[in-house]
Chains A and B, each alone.
Chain A
Amino acid sequence: MLQGWVIVLASFVYLGILFAIAWYADRRADSGRSLIANPVVYALSLGVYCTTWTFYGSVGRAAASGIGFLPIYLGPTLLFALAGFVLHKMIKVAKANRITSIADFVASRYGKSQLLGGLVTVIAVVGVIPYIALQLKAVSNSFAILASYPEIIMPAKAGAVPLFQDSALYVAMILAAFTILFGTRHLDATERHEGMVAAIAVESTVKLIAFLAVGVFVVWGMHQGVGDIFAQAAAVPTVARRLATADSPAAYGTWGTLIFLSLFASLLLPRQFQIAVVENVDAKHLSRAVWMFPLYLFLINLFVLPVALAGMMHFPNGTVDADTFVLTLPMAHQQEALTLLVYIGGLSAATGMVIVETIALSTMVCNDLVMPLLLRLPMLGLAARADLSGLLLEIRRWAIAVILCLGYLYFRVAGEAYALVSIGLISFAAVAQFAPVVIGGLFWKGGTRDGALFGLAAGFAVWAYTLLLPSFAKSGWLPDGFIAHGLFGIDLLRPQHLFGLTGLDEITHCLVWSLLANLGGYIGVSLQRVPNVREARQATLFVGGAEAAGLPGWHGSAGVADLLPLAGRFLGAERAQDAFTRHAQQRGLQSLHELPADTRLVNFAETLLAGAIGSASARAMVASVVTEEPLGINEVMNILDEASQVRAYTRELEQKSLELTRATAELREANARLRELDRMKDDFISTVTHELRTPLTSIRAFSEMLHDDPKIDLAQRSRFLGIIVSETVRLSRLINQILDLAKLESGRAEWTVAAVDVAEVIREAAESLTALFAEKHVTLELDASHPGLMVLADRDRLMQVMVNLLSNALKFVPAESGRVKVGAGGTVNEVRVSVADNGPGIQSEDQEVIFDKFRQGAGTTDVLTDKPQGTGLGLPISRQIIEYFNGRLWVESAPGAGARFVFTLPRQAGDNDQNAD
C-alpha cells in the first residue's frame, strides 16, 4: 500500500491541511479574533525546537551514547524553568522596539548599527545552513526508506546519487515553494505571522503524537512494557553497554557543553527567537510556557531510550542506521498506518523547522543585508521610491530559495560525514556566538557597537575555522591535511586542537576558543570607550527599559530605572538622584528604588526635566522612554546640545554672579578702608591745623599787642618779643617734623645706610645736648662703654632718635634733681639701647598713645606748671626710624617711677642690606 505515490500524496495532503490552518488563522487574526492568542498555542509553537534531529536523531544518539541525547533538552528546560525572566525581558524589549529578528535585536541594541545587523545575518545564515541540510537529509532519507517498503534498505550516500535522482533536491524545492507560500503571501504590517504560528503549533502536536505512538507500539506492541525492554537489553552485552555509560568518560564531560549550547540555541536560533520573542502575542503567555514547554520536551523524549534499545536488539548487526529506528521498527512489523504517521511526524518536524527558520532568515537577509545594500546604491533610486513592499516580498522569496539551495548544497557536500545530531551541533555552536552580545546587551550598559562587532566577528571566525571547515574537509571537499597538521603545517593551528588544546571533543573545543575570542573582543573593545549617545540610549532602552517600554502610549508609565538616567543626562546624576529621592520621600517611600512605575512618576520626571530643558523637550525625552516610537538620533543630539549649552551658560552666569558678589565685598571693604583713611587724613589735617594755629595765635596776639600799644614798658616788650621768637621756632620745628614724618610714612625718605657704632652715636648725641642738660642741672649718665655694638643704619637718623629720646627725658625730669641714664648692651642678635629718667612717669594707658602723632602724655601737664614744649611728633618719627631698620621702640614706666625708653636694632648682619638703598 505504501507506494511512492501514496507517500507523495499524503505529504501534499498534509502540507495542504497545514496551509489551510494557516490561512484560517490569518483570517481570524485579520478579524481580530486571534487563534493563537493563548498560552497553550504559544507553548506548542515553541516545540519547533524539536526538529528531525529530535524525531529521528535522538534515538540514534541514544543508540550511540545511552542517555547522551538528554542534555540537548536539559538546556531549554533549564532556560524556561530558571531563566524565564531573561526571556521575559527580551520579549518586553523586543515589543517596545518593534524588533523583527535576532539580527534586528542586536543591531538595535548597539545603536541601530546596520553593519552589526548584517554581520549577525551572515553568521545566522552560514551557521544555520547545516541545520537546514540536516532536515533535508532526514526527510529525503525517510522518504527513500519508506519508498522501498516493505524492505528495509538504507539509502545510498547523497553524493553518489545523480543530482536529479536525489530526492533531497525535490524535498528542498517543495519546502522552498511551501515556505514561500507560507511566509510571503503578504507583507505583514507587523512582523508577526499568525497563520504560520498556528500551523507550527499543529505540527508540534502531530510530531509528538507520532513519536508517542511509536513509543507505545515499541514498548507495549513489541515488548511487555519498559521493564521488559530494559531486562532484555541488559542481557545483550553490546546493548547493555549503552545503559551503563557513554562511549567514554569524556563524553559525560561534554554534557556541560551540550546543556550550555542547547540553552542558548533554544533562545538564539533564528527560528526560536522568531517564535519565542517576535511572534509572542502576550508576555503573560510565558508563565504557562515555562512549564508546558519543558513538559513537551519530556514527553517527546519519554520513549527515546526504549526505542533505541529495541532497535538495537531488533537490528543487531548494525546494517540499519540507528537514526532511522523510529521509522524502521514499525516498518519491520508491517505497521503501515503507524509508519505513515511516523513519516508525517518526521515531515512535521522538518517542515516546521524549515518554514520558521527560513522565514526568519529571509526577514533578516532582506531587512539587514539586502535592503541596506540596495538603498545604498544610488543608481537604483530606491531611496526615493515610496512603496517598496513588492520589492521586499521578492527579496524574501529569493532569500528563501537561496537559503534552501545552500542547505541542499551543504547536504550534498558534507551531509554524509556526520550523524544528524552532529550537524545540528555545528549550528548550535554558531548561534551560541550571539549569546554574549544578546545577554550582555540586556544586562550590561557598557557594551558598544564596536565591541559587539569585534566579539561576533572573532567568535564566528574561530567557529568557522574549528568546526565548519573541518566538516568540509572530512567530506573530502577540502584537503584534510590541515586538520591533522594545522594550517600551513603549523601544529598550533590544527583546527581541532587549536594552540595545542587537546582532550576535548570538537564541539567543546570550538566553544572554548570561539567564546573566549568572542567575549574577549566584546568586553575588551567595549571597554575601550564609553558608549556614545545613540548606544547609550539604546542600552538604556534594553537594559533598564523593559518594564516601561512595553506600556502603551507615552502617557503610560516608566520606571525609575529609565527616568532617573534620563533625568540624569540633563540634570547631572547627583541632582537627579536627589530629586528622585525627595519625590520618593514625599510619597512616603524609603528609597527612590521603591518608586512604582506609574503615571505620577512619569509626570514628576517630565516636570523635573522641564526645569532644565523646557517643557517641549522634556515631553519629547520622556516620550522617548515611555513610548514605542524611538526618537531620531538627530533630535536627541540637538536636545542634548541645547541643554548642555543652557547648562553651561547658567553655570557661567552663576560663576559671574559669584565673582561679582566677591568683587562687591572687596570693593565695600576697600571703600570702608578708604573712608577710614579719609577720616584719618581729616583728623590729621585738623590736628596739624590746630598745632600750627596755636603758636600762630600767640605770635599774632603778642604782635598786635605790641603794635597797638607803643607805650608798653621795655621789660614787658622784651618778654613779649621773646615769646614771639620761641613760638616762631616752635612753628618752624613743627613744620619740619610734619614734612619729615610725611616723607617717612610715604617711603620717600632718603637713607644712607652704613655700619654704625651705637656707642659712638650715643656719645655724640649726649655731647650735642650737654649745654641743655647743664642749663637745667640735670645729670646725664652714659653707659656706652661696650665697644663694637655695630648696626646697619642711617647714622644721622639714629642720631635723631637718640636726641629725641634724650631731649624728651630732659623735658620731663625736674630741674636740679633730674637724672637721665643711657644704657647700651646687646645679645648675639640685637643691640639694645635704653634712656631712663626719674621724671613723673607715664600712665599705662598712655604708654602706647605717646607714639601716636600729636599725642603727648596727658599726665604730664598736671605735674608741670608749664605745658611741655613739644610737637607730639618726636616719638612717632623715632619709632618710624627704628622700625625701618627692623628694630622696636617702646617705653617701660610707672607713674612716679620715671620712664625708660628702649629700642633694639638687629646686630649688623647680611640681611640688613636688602633694606639699604
Chain B
Amino acid sequence: MSHRILIVDDEPNIVISLEYLMKKEGFQVVVATNGDAALEQASAFLPELILLDVMMPKKSGFEVCQALRANPALTGVKIIMLTAKGRETEVTKGLALGADAYITKPFSTKDLVLQIKSMLA
C-alpha cells in the first residue's frame, strides 16, 4: 500500500526535489504551489501527510495549517511544516496551530524521509 503525500511549496526546485524523494519511497504524491491550491488538493486527495511550506504568497503555511485542522474530513492527517526562517517563535506557532513536526530549511533529505516514514508507520 502506498501512502498519499501532499507537497505544498512555491519554490519549483524544492517541489522537484521533494517530489523525487517521495516518489522514490513509493508514495503517491500531489503538489500544490500555493495555499488555496493546497486546501483544494487536500480535500480532494485526502492525503495522509502534508509537507507544508510556511512562506508562501497569498496564504501562509500557518493559515493553511489552521484551515486543515478545522476540516473534519481531514482528521488524523499528519502535517510537517517546512520553513526557511526557523525562528523559535515560528516553530512554537506552527506546533500550536496543530503541526505535527517542524523542519527547518535547508534540511537533510535522509532525516526528512526517516521522519515521514516514522510518522506514517
Given A689-B85, A690-B55, A694-B14; A705-B110 close (CB under 8 Å):
no
Choose, from B43-51, B69-77, B92-100, B101-109, the stretch at the interface: B101-109
In the assembled complex, B120 has its CB within 8 A of some CB on chain A: no
Given A686-B85, A867-B11; A697-B106 close (CB under 8 Å):
yes
Per-position binary interface string of chain A over residues 678-702, scored 1 when its CB falls under 8 Å from any chain B CB and 0 otherwise? 0000000010011101111111111
- The reply to whether A697 and B34 form a contact with Cβ atoms under 8 Å apart is no
User: Which one of A701, A727, A861 lies within 8 Å of B109 (CB-CB)?
Assistant: A701
Please give me the residue from chain B that is nearest to A709 by CB atom.
Answer: B24
- The answer for the CA separation of A392 and B99 in the assembled complex, in Å, is 115
- The reply to whether B58 and A704 form a contact with Cβ atoms under 8 Å apart is no
- The answer for the CA separation of A696 and B108 in the assembled complex, in Å, is 12
User: Which one of B34, B58, B109 lies within 8 Å of A705 (CB-CB)?
Assistant: B109
Q: What's the count of A-B pairs with C-beta under 8 Å?
A: 70
Across-interface contacts of B33 in A (CB, < 8 A): 861, 867
Please give me the residue from chain B that is nearest to A712 by CB atom.
Answer: B20
- The reply to whether A698 and B11 form a contact with Cβ atoms under 8 Å apart is yes
Majority DSSP secondary structure for residues of B touching A? loop
Across-interface contacts of A701 in B (CB, < 8 A): 14, 17-18, 21, 106-107, 109
| Shortest beta-carbon distance from A711 to chain B in Å | 11
In the assembled complex, B13 has its CB within 8 A of some CB on chain A: yes
- The reply to whether A686 and B87 form a contact with Cβ atoms under 8 Å apart is yes
- The answer for the CA separation of A858 and B56 in the assembled complex, in Å, is 10
Please give me the residue from chain B that is nearest to A691 by CB atom.
Answer: B84
**Counting chain B CB atoms within 10 Å of each CB, which of A689, A695, A699, A704 scores highest?**
A704
Per-position binary interface string of chain B over residues 1-16, scored 1 when its CB falls under 8 Å from any chain A CB and 0 otherwise? 0000000001111101
Interface range for B:
20 to 34
In the assembled complex, A574 has its CB within 8 A of some CB on chain B: no
In the assembled complex, A708 has its CB within 8 A of some CB on chain B: yes
- The reply to whether B34 and A704 form a contact with Cβ atoms under 8 Å apart is no
Per-position binary interface string of chain A over residues 655-696, scored 1 when its CB falls under 8 Å from any chain B CB and 0 otherwise? 000000000000000000000000000000010011101111
Across-interface contacts of A700 in B (CB, < 8 A): 106-109
Given A701-B107, A858-B58; A723-B13 close (CB under 8 Å):
yes
In the assembled complex, B26 has its CB within 8 A of some CB on chain A: no
In the assembled complex, A866 has its CB within 8 A of some CB on chain B: yes
- The reply to whether B109 and A690 form a contact with Cβ atoms under 8 Å apart is no
- The reply to whether B85 and A699 form a contact with Cβ atoms under 8 Å apart is no
| Shortest beta-carbon distance from B116 to chain A in Å | 14
Per-position binary interface string of chain A over residues 425-462, scored 1 when its CB falls under 8 Å from any chain B CB and 0 otherwise? 00000000000000000000000000000000000000
Across-interface contacts of B108 in A (CB, < 8 A): 700, 704
Across-interface contacts of A695 in B (CB, < 8 A): 13
| Shortest beta-carbon distance from A724 to chain B in Å | 9
- The answer for the CA separation of A696 and B84 in the assembled complex, in Å, is 10
- The answer for the CA separation of A702 and B87 in the assembled complex, in Å, is 25
- The reply to whether B84 and A693 form a contact with Cβ atoms under 8 Å apart is yes
- The reply to whether A705 and B17 form a contact with Cβ atoms under 8 Å apart is yes
- The answer for the CA separation of A840 and B27 in the assembled complex, in Å, is 37
- The answer for the CA separation of A639 and B43 in the assembled complex, in Å, is 92
Please give me the residue from chain A that is nearest to B87 by CB atom.
Answer: A686
Across-interface contacts of B57 in A (CB, < 8 A): 858, 861
- The answer for the CA separation of A289 and B3 in the assembled complex, in Å, is 131
| Shortest beta-carbon distance from A713 to chain B in Å | 12
**Counting chain A CB atoms within 10 Å of each CB, which of B11, B55, B108, B109 scores highest?**
B109
Please give me the residue from chain A that is nearest to B16 by CB atom.
Answer: A723
Majority DSSP secondary structure for residues of A touching B? helix
- The answer for the CA separation of A694 and B108 in the assembled complex, in Å, is 14
* Count, chain A residues at interface, CB 8 A: 25
- The reply to whether A697 and B107 form a contact with Cβ atoms under 8 Å apart is yes
Given A694-B105, A705-B20, A867-B10; A689-B84 close (CB under 8 Å):
yes
- The answer for the CA separation of A89 and B77 in the assembled complex, in Å, is 108
Please give me the residue from chain A that is nearest to B82 by CB atom.
Answer: A697
Please give me the residue from chain A that is nearest to B56 by CB atom.
Answer: A861
User: Which one of A697, A704, A862, A867 lies within 8 Å of B105 (CB-CB)?
Assistant: A697
- The reply to whether A861 and B34 form a contact with Cβ atoms under 8 Å apart is yes
User: Which one of B14, B86, B87 lies within 8 Å of A698 (CB-CB)?
Assistant: B14
Please give me the residue from chain A that is nearest to B21 by CB atom.
Answer: A705
| Shortest beta-carbon distance from A692 to chain B in Å | 8
Across-interface contacts of B13 in A (CB, < 8 A): 695, 698, 702, 723, 727
| Shortest beta-carbon distance from B111 to chain A in Å | 10
- The reply to whether B106 and A693 form a contact with Cβ atoms under 8 Å apart is yes
- The reply to whether B109 and A704 form a contact with Cβ atoms under 8 Å apart is yes
- The answer for the CA separation of A810 and B5 in the assembled complex, in Å, is 36
Please give me the residue from chain A that is nearest to B34 by CB atom.
Answer: A861
- The answer for the CA separation of A697 and B105 in the assembled complex, in Å, is 6
Please give me the residue from chain B that is nearest to A724 by CB atom.
Answer: B13
Across-interface contacts of A698 in B (CB, < 8 A): 11, 13-14, 17
Across-interface contacts of A690 in B (CB, < 8 A): 55, 84-85
- The answer for the CA separation of A702 and B16 in the assembled complex, in Å, is 9
- The reply to whether B109 and A708 form a contact with Cβ atoms under 8 Å apart is yes
**Counting chain A CB atoms within 10 Å of each CB, which of B12, B16, B84 scores highest?**
B84
Given A861-B34, A867-B11; A702-B17 close (CB under 8 Å):
yes
- The answer for the CA separation of A715 and B107 in the assembled complex, in Å, is 25
| Shortest beta-carbon distance from B81 to chain A in Å | 14
| Shortest beta-carbon distance from B91 to chain A in Å | 13
- The answer for the CA separation of A700 and B12 in the assembled complex, in Å, is 15
| Shortest beta-carbon distance from B28 to chain A in Å | 20
- The reply to whether A699 and B16 form a contact with Cβ atoms under 8 Å apart is no
Please give me the residue from chain A that is nearest to B108 by CB atom.
Answer: A704
**Counting chain B CB atoms within 10 Å of each CB, which of A693, A697, A862 scores highest?**
A697
User: Which one of A691, A704, A861 lies within 8 Å of B110 (CB-CB)?
Assistant: A704
- The reply to whether A693 and B16 form a contact with Cβ atoms under 8 Å apart is no
| Shortest beta-carbon distance from B8 to chain A in Å | 14
- The reply to whether A861 and B10 form a contact with Cβ atoms under 8 Å apart is yes
| Shortest beta-carbon distance from B48 to chain A in Å | 22
- The reply to whether B58 and A696 form a contact with Cβ atoms under 8 Å apart is no
- The reply to whether A697 and B58 form a contact with Cβ atoms under 8 Å apart is no
| Shortest beta-carbon distance from A710 to chain B in Å | 14
Across-interface contacts of A699 in B (CB, < 8 A): 106
Across-interface contacts of A694 in B (CB, < 8 A): 11, 14, 84, 105
Please give me the residue from chain B that is nearest to A701 by CB atom.
Answer: B17
- The reply to whether B17 and A867 form a contact with Cβ atoms under 8 Å apart is no
- The reply to whether A867 and B12 form a contact with Cβ atoms under 8 Å apart is yes
- The answer for the CA separation of A253 and B109 in the assembled complex, in Å, is 132
Across-interface contacts of A689 in B (CB, < 8 A): 84-86
Please give me the residue from chain B that is nearest to A723 by CB atom.
Answer: B13
- The reply to whether B12 and A696 form a contact with Cβ atoms under 8 Å apart is no
Across-interface contacts of B10 in A (CB, < 8 A): 861, 867
Across-interface contacts of A691 in B (CB, < 8 A): 84
Across-interface contacts of A861 in B (CB, < 8 A): 10, 33-34, 57
- The answer for the CA separation of A857 and B86 in the assembled complex, in Å, is 24
8 A Cβ contacts from B16-71 to A? 16-18, 20-21, 24, 33-34, 55, 57-58
Across-interface contacts of B110 in A (CB, < 8 A): 704, 708
Across-interface contacts of A709 in B (CB, < 8 A): 24
Closest 7 CB pairs of A and B: A693-B84, A701-B17, A697-B106, A697-B105, A698-B13, A700-B106, A690-B84
9 CB < 8 A contacts A-B: A689-B84, A689-B85, A690-B85, A694-B84, A697-B107, A699-B106, A700-B108, A705-B17, A861-B33
Partner-A contacts on B (CB < 8 A): 10-14, 16-18, 20-21, 24, 33-34, 55, 57-58, 84-87, 105-110
Starting from the known contacts A698-B11, A705-B109, A858-B57, 19 additional A-B residue pairs (CB-CB under 8 Å) come to: A693-B85, A693-B86, A693-B106, A694-B14, A696-B106, A697-B105, A698-B14, A698-B17, A699-B106, A700-B108, A701-B14, A701-B17, A701-B109, A705-B21, A709-B24, A723-B16, A858-B58, A861-B33, A862-B34
